[in-house]
Chains A and B, each alone.
Chain A
Amino acid sequence: MAPHHQDHDNDRPSKRVKVMDTTDAAETTPATTVLPTVALFQLARGHLDAQWNQREAVIKQSREITRESKKLIVMLQRHDPKVAFAESEMATFPAAKAKVLQMLSKLAAQFKSRQEFHRYSSNVKHCIQEFLEAVAFHHFLEFRRMIPFDDARLLLESLGLQLMPQDYIMGISDVSGEVMRFATNAATKGNTQWVEASRTYLQDFYHACLSLDASFNENDMNRKIDTTRESLLKVERLAYDLAIRQCEQKMFRKDQDVVMQDTTAQ
């Protein structure tokens, strides 16, 4: 099969010349002329590697932020319903919150431009929603209302990130569960005020959810609306139970008074 070798050489006459050129050049200068295809793929490799590394860093930071945000929410849940809400009362809360804000700034610094944010938006979506949940819950405890979109957006933009409407709504939806938990705690301590406030909040929020039209097509959203509804029903039940118990107590005291009067009369 002698022709074998010749075949290979004659395959691509133009390429053969190029290959010989590079070997000649290699003998004379260290900087060889590289085939354009190879150059393209070397460039592509650098580009893809850099992008992959950045994505990994973003994902890692995003996970940490999610964890820290969850810790914030746990801290907030420990707030005593009887006391008026003041951030300073919970010793570790301000420091923890500042830590999360700093982490978010660091994350935002990774993005070289506004456009870059969208490139990784699917990776950071979750941590932004979690952070928003903490912020919104905080807002509820302080003002008993939903945090407006613009306030949330401005907060995130001050950190260098962008708030997409979908992320806002998804983050806010999770607050319903936290409010329900908080209301349950308050109810066990007999605190009607907070239970009522929670119920009002959840009712308003649920109605707002219903007014969202179907163009907002996230499947998760429907699940979250259902969860909100369940939280609302639980809190309404709690309010009902508390009210009944209070009526009973009033009646019990009235009966007690009657009994006391009878005994003293005798």
Chain B
Amino acid sequence: MDANVQVREVIKDRVKTIDLQLQAIQRRLLQSVDDKLAAVRSDLQALAQLVPEHQFYRYTRLYTSLLQTLCFVVAWQTYLASETVVTPEQVAERIGLPVELDHEIAESHIPLENLLHGLVQLPSELMCVRCVNCAAQQDCDRPLRIRAFVQELYSGFQLLNLKNDPLRRHYDVVKYDAKKIEEVVCDIKLRQLSRQS
């Protein structure tokens, strides 16, 4: 049992360092963070090595929120770059671990729920950072695009049969974010601020 405790301690330490790095990244999300992401990626590889074979889920509680944040960062990056929803393949490539989709993966991987958690945090970030700022800065086309993007995400989430778990709660929040974005878009259209109106 002591060996188990030791492994947990080491994993916790590593998770903490990666967490700090991720926090630094999150604060500077609007700028390019590729180099920091590379550092996180190599740390994550080292972490993956620590987990004994076949026991990925035994320690999963220690790093699940880390993976969620990481997925969110990658999804955000993808949005900034191309305004599309990130695909699992892209996530796997950026982070360096495979994403578990339809077949089971024995080694360390990213469970699908973590990817969903990452995606579900996008709308509120978009709402806070982008929508309102854009409108304030007279960039009035962007909110319209944001609305369409969030709608796409939201309708995707509506397809899921969510039970009463954290993912469900985040999903409920998305509803309110979508509504707020709708309001911003409404404001813009009412005043015919958009170049397209």
Contact = CB atoms under 8 A, between A and B. Distances in A.
Contact of B156 (A37, A46, A112, A116): A37
A49 B54 contact: no
B197 A40 contact: no
A44 B102 CA distance: 9
Given A52-B163, A165-B4, A121 B58 contact: yes
B69 to A, nearest CB: 19
Given A6-B196, A47-B101, A166 B57 contact: no
B170 to A, nearest CB: 14
Interface string A5-26: 0110011100100000000000
A90 interface: no
A112 B104 contact: yes
Contact of A115 (B5, B106, B163): B106
A111 to B, nearest CB: 11
Contacts of B2: 215
Contacts of B197: 3, 7
B157 A41 contact: yes
A47 B102 contact: yes
Contacts of B157: 41
Contacts of B98: none
B55 to A, nearest CB: 6
B85 A36 contact: yes
Nearest to A9: B196
B144 interface: yes
A53 B162 CA distance: 12
B112 A44 contact: yes
Contacts of B63: none
Contacts of A40: 85, 87-88, 156
A30 B197 CA distance: 37
Contacts of A215: 2, 5
* Range, interface on chain A: 35 or more
Contacts of B55: 115, 118
A43 interface: yes
A49 B192 CA distance: 44
Contacts of B189: 4, 7
B116 interface: yes
A37 B85 contact: yes
Given A40-B88, A216-B1, A113 B54 contact: yes
B156 A11 contact: no
The 5 closest A-B pairs by CB, nearest first: A118-B57, A41-B156, A165-B1, A118-B58, A119-B57
Interface of A: 3-4, 6-7, 10-12, 15, 35-38, 40-49, 52, 112-116, 118-119, 121, 165-166, 215-216
Given A35-B152, A41-B156, 19 more contacts: A7-B144, A7-B189, A7-B197, A11-B148, A12-B148, A37-B85, A38-B155, A40-B88, A43-B101, A43-B102, A44-B116, A44-B159, A45-B160, A48-B113, A48-B160, A52-B161, A113-B104, A114-B54, A215-B5
17 contacts: A3-B192, A3-B196, A3-B197, A7-B196, A11-B144, A11-B145, A12-B145, A38-B156, A40-B156, A45-B159, A45-B160, A45-B161, A115-B106, A116-B57, A118-B55, A165-B1, A215-B5
